[in-house]
Amino acid sequence: MQTASQATDSAPIVHPPGYRARRGQNWFFLGLTYASYYLCRYNLSPVAPELMSELSFSKSQYGMINSGRDGAYAIGQMINGLFTDRFGGKQAMTIGAISTIILNLAFGFTSWSGMSTMLLLTSLVCIRSFDGYMQAFGAPGFIKINTAWFRRKERGAFAGVFGFMINLGAIGAGQLGKTLITGMSIPLLFFTLSTPTLNWRYMFILPPIAVGVIVILMNLFVKNTPEEAGWKVEHDDDGGAESTEKIRLIDVFRKIASNRVVWIVAAAYFCTGFVRRGVESWWAVYLHDVWGADKMSGLYTAFIWGLPVTASVGSLTSGYISDKLFHGKRAPVAAILYIAQVAFTIVAIMVPQSGGAASSAIAVALIIGISMMCNSTHSILGTAAAMDLGGRRMAGCSSGIIDSFQYYGALISGYGLGALFDSFAKPSVGAGVASKLNPNIWFGSMLPFGLLGAGLMTYLWIKHRNSTTIGT
C-alpha cells in the first residue's frame, strides 16, 4: 500500500505517483452524482410561475412545497450524517439517488392526477418533503468520502470544486426549464434538429433518468476511502491508522455536538440558508411578477447562467484564498463574504424596481452578487469547515449538523416569504394566485441574516486569530 506523505504547514503536500489521478477519478464521478442530485432539487423554481398558474396555488402554497422539502432535508442531515459515518459514503449516496428518482417521478405524475387543490397541495408537499429527507443522504456521503481522500490544507480548494459541481446541476435545471417551455432548435449541416415544447411536469420526469445512469457509474468507479483503492493518506486532524475504524453513533454525536465551534458555524450557516434558498426559490417568480420577464427574455438567461457561474467562481476563489492566504482558516473569508453580501443587499433595496432595461439589469446583477456571496459561504462553511471539524471519522455527522441548520433557515424562506408576499399584496392586485412578489420584502428579509452571519464569523475570526483551532 502506497502512502501519501506528510507535510509541514509551509511545505507543499506531496502524494505518490498515481494518487492524484485515482483521486481525480473518484472525485469526478462523485461530483457528477451530486450534480445530478441538484437536477432533481433545482427543478421546481424554474417552472414555479407555470406550476402556480396551472394548479391555482398562491405564493404561500408554493412556499409550502419548498419549506416541506427544506425542513425534511434539515432533519435528514442530522440523522443521515450519523448513519453515513457508520455505513459509508457511497452507500449513503446510492440510497439518496434511488429515492430521489422515485419521488421526482411521483411528484410529476401526481400533479397530473386531477385532485382537488388542497388534496393535490398536501400530496405534493408530502412527496417533496420525503424527497428532501432522502436527498439528505447526498451531502454527508459526498463529504465523508472526500474527507478521506483530501488532507486538511487541500479541503478549501476542494470545497470550491464541490460548489462548482452543485452549480452544474443548477445550470442544467435552469436550461432544461427554458427548453421545455420554449423548445429548442439546433442547426446542423443539412437540417435543423428541433425539440418540441413540453409540459412543465417533464422537469420531474427527465432529470431522474439522468440520475439513474450516473449513480450506476458512481458505484462502478468510486471507492469510499483511499485504502479501498490501495492507497493510504496520513491525515493531520484525526486518529491516523485507526481513522478508518467504525465507531459508535452515540460517540460520534457526542464528540461533534460538544464542540462549541460547530454550533457557531451552524448558526452562521442558518443565515446562509435563508438567503441562499430565498434567492433560489423565488428568482423566477420575481422576474415574472416584477419585470414581466418570461423564459425567452435576456433576464431569464442572465439568471440561469449568472447564478451558477458566479457561485462557482466565488466558491473556487474563496476556497483557494482560505487555503493559501489564511492557511486553512475559514472564518476570516466567511466574514468578508457576509459583509459583501450585506452591501449588495443594501444597494438592491435602493435600486428602483420598475422602469427600463437599465434598472432591471442592475437589479438582476445585484441579486446575482448576493447569490455569489452566500454560495461562497455555503462552500466555505458547509464543506470545508465541516470536513475540518469532523475529520475523516466524523465528517458525515459534522456536515449533517452544520448543513441541517442551513435548511432550518431555508425552511423560513419558503412558506414564510410566500405568506408575506400574499399578505402584503397590493389591494388592486388581489389575493391568492394573483398576488405579486414584493421586492422590498424580498430584499429586506435578507438583510438581518447577512448581518448576523457577518457578526458570528467576525467573532470567530477575532477570537481565534492567533490559534490553530480547527474549523475557524
Q: What is the pLDDT of residues 140-151, one digit of tens each?
A: 888 788 778 877
Residue predicted with more confidence, 111 or 181: 111
163-172, 391-400, 420-429, 450-459, range with the lowest pLDDT: 391-400
Chain centroid to CA 15: how far?
A: 30
Question: Among 94-103, 136-145, 370-379, which range has the highest average pLDDT?
Answer: 94-103
Q: Which three cell numbers stand for residue 224?
A: 469510499
Confidence bin at 104 (pLDDT 50/70/90): very high
Q: Which helix (H) or strand (E) is 193 found in, with range?
A: strand 192-195
Q: Which three cell numbers stand for residue 273?
A: 440558508
- Please determine, for residue 414, whether its predicted confidence score (pLDDT) is greater than 50: yes
Q: Are 335 and 454 in contact (CB under 8 A)?
A: yes
Distance CA 411, CA 150 (A): 32
88-96 mean pLDDT:
93
103-129 mean pLDDT:
95
Residue predicted with more confidence, 209 or 245: 209
Confidence bin at 346 (pLDDT 50/70/90): very high
- Please determine, for residue 95, whether its predicted confidence score (pLDDT) is greater than 90: yes
Residues 52-75 as b/e (b if ≥16 CB within 10 A, e otherwise) read beebebbbbbbbbbbbbbbbbbbb
- pTM score: 0.83
Confidence bin at 56 (pLDDT 50/70/90): very high
Report the relative pairing of strands 2-4 and 184-187 from DSSP bridges.
Answer: unpaired
